[in-house]
Structure 1
Amino acid sequence: MSASGVQQTVADMVSPFLDREGFELVDVEYVSEGGNRFLRVYVDKEGGIDIDECGRVSEYLSEQLDQNDPIPDAYILEVSSPGAERPLKKPEDFRRAVGKDVYITTYEPIEGMKEFEGPLVAYDGETVTVKAGKKGKAKDVTFGADRIASARLTIIF
């Protein structure tokens, strides 16, 4: 099964449990690192998720994976919070991030830049506006959400 197939299968498997618990599925990764395969599941909830809650998700998912055995290879299961610099993937992630500092990369340069760091000024479902640039020279840059290669919250010091 492809990595994207594993990710979708795991998302479908864990989502009913997360919905019952009031948790949100942030992301699923199935990657190979250092000769090992890792299945990483990132979960969150309003106000943040704690280690005991991650443990409950891990136990549930581990049982489901053992029963259904959708992944033929050996892997290490990790369930965790997405952290302070959580990825922005879904439209609701971007909506919640308006007014917060973000780090966005694009597939090709926009106004000569491929990296944008600063407050997310607006998101309307199709475009994003980021106040990007050096302090004192920052300006609003608007571009299509389909041009985003990756996006996450960031902490700017």
Structure 2
Amino acid sequence: MTHPLIPQILDLATPVAQDLGLDVVAAVFQTNQRPPVLRIDIRNPQDETSLNDCEAMSRALEAVLDASDSIPEAYVLEVSSPGLSDILNSDRDFISFKGFSVSITTEEPYKGQTHWSGHLIERNEESIRLSCKGKAIAIPRSLVVNVQLN
């Protein structure tokens, strides 16, 4: 269950991240810890999220949170990157993992299958192309539910 302060924290954190050219991916307030831990996950949409990105966000957000007095008790602020996901979403993911082994799931059968495995060739406007046992196949993007690294 999401902590009741999370929407307010996200309202404060999102513009801070945007000013730094970052995106807020998630926020969790772990009140079972002593002191409680507020973890904010950020992503740099232009480049790999760096330690400098996390540090800049931490300093800027700390000042905003302190000024807002949203969290009445002492807490620890952690700003981090969510790391790599095994699900490919962005154009950058598809470029970065070209040639890697992936599995594709479709919402309805395409050529009699709902699961495909092969090496990623590319994603374009119409399809995701895989090399399956040396043969290229183009699966329509409109049918794809997810693309996952193997």
Same fold (TM over 0.5): yes
Residue 124 (structure 2) aligns with = 122
Structure 1 unaligned spans of 5+: none
- Scaled by the length of structure 2, the TM-score of the pair is 0.56
- Scaled by the length of structure 1, the TM-score of the pair is 0.54
State the distance in 2 between where 1:68 and 1:54 align: 21
Residue 19 (structure 1) aligns with = 18
The answer to whether the Cα contact below 8 Å between 1:44 and 1:82 also exists between their aligned partners in 2 is no
SS at match of 1:63: helix
What is the number of equivalent residue pairs in this alignment? 140
Q: CA RMSD in A?
A: 4.5
Residue 142 (structure 2) aligns with = 144
Residue 134 (structure 1) aligns with = 132
The one-character-per-residue Cα deviations of 1:3-61 (angstroms, maximum 9, x if unpaired) are 6972x54443223223333x1205114376xx656623222153434322311101222
Given candidates 97, 100, 109, the residue that maps to 1:101 is 97
State the distance in 2 between where 1:107 and 1:69 align: 47
Residue 65 (structure 1) aligns with = 65
Structure 2 unaligned spans of 5+: none
The answer to whether the Cα contact below 8 Å between 1:101 and 1:117 also exists between their aligned partners in 2 is no
The answer to whether the Cα contact below 8 Å between 2:118 and 2:132 also exists between their aligned partners in 1 is no
- 1:121 is displaced (CA, Å) by 1.4
Q: Percent identity of the aligned residues?
A: 21
Aligned AA (2:138): D
CA spacing shift, 1:55–1:62, aligned 2, 3 Å: same
- 1:107 is displaced (CA, Å) by 8.3
Residue 48 (structure 1) aligns with = 48
Aligned AA (2:64): Q
State the distance in 2 between where 1:74 and 1:142 align: 51
